[in-house]
Amino acid sequence: MSGTCGNNGHDFDGASTAYKHALWAVIAINGVMFVVEMLAGFAAHSTALRADALDFFGDTLTYSLSLIVIGQELKTRAKVAMLKGISLLLMGLFVAGLAIWQMVTASVPQAPLMGGIGALALLANITSVLILLRFRDGDANVRSVWLCSRNDAIGNVAVMVAALMVAVFHSHWPDLIVALAMSALFLSSAVQIITRARSELA
């Protein structure tokens, strides 16, 4: 198989040089953006930015796991996908908890910094999505990489919208609402990944 998603009825398992190179590129992008966005999240007092930074960190780790298990038997790949799904589930719960806590304690985020970093993160994730686009219909392991990249791009758009609303209303609520929405997206994707992995394990 040359790296396409395949036409023979079998899900692409990532065992191609093209996919490995794509994954390395996306790992590098996510690692850099985790550092940039986390620092900016603290500077801007933005829960949504910090949530998105945690997602970049989680993606860096899980993409590395995806790279390690490429070419191994389906059961092994499915187990790793299950681990990624559980990690995404925990991340969604953590972000929800952080947002709820910040409802009482949060200060108003710095909208210009929040929006600017959100735009930079969106550019990084659009690049990742385009790199991974032709691999989106693979097995649970490959599919989870695609879903995580897609979620990041959606989350960045939401962060930018929240930054605009923070600037207009001078309130921390848009930031927290976006953080909760991102949490829901993480949880939804976690269910998809876990369901697919359970099917492959069966």
pLDDT for 143 equals 66
Residue 4 lies in a domain: no
What domain range is 195 assigned to?
A: 17-201
Q: Are 124 and 29 in contact (CB under 8 A)?
A: yes
pLDDT for 196 equals 83
Residue 8 lies in a domain: no
> Residue 105 maps to which CATH number?
1.20.1510
Q: In total, how many domains does the chain have?
A: 1
Dist. CA 168–CA 153, nearest whole Å: 23
pLDDT for 144 equals 64
pLDDT for 113 equals 93
Residue 29 lies in a domain: yes
Q: Are 88 and 190 in contact (CB under 8 A)?
A: yes
C-alpha pair distances (Å), 113 with each of 13, 31, 117, 123, 187: 40, 20, 6, 15, 27
pLDDT for 28 equals 95
Residue 1 lies in a domain: no
pLDDT for 18 equals 79
Residues of the chain short of pLDDT 50, as ranges, are 1-10
Dist. CA 86–CA 191, nearest whole Å: 9
Residue 180 lies in a domain: yes
Residue 163 lies in a domain: yes
Residue 105 lies in a domain: yes
Q: Say how many CA atoms lie within 13 Å of 183 toward its Cβ.
A: 19
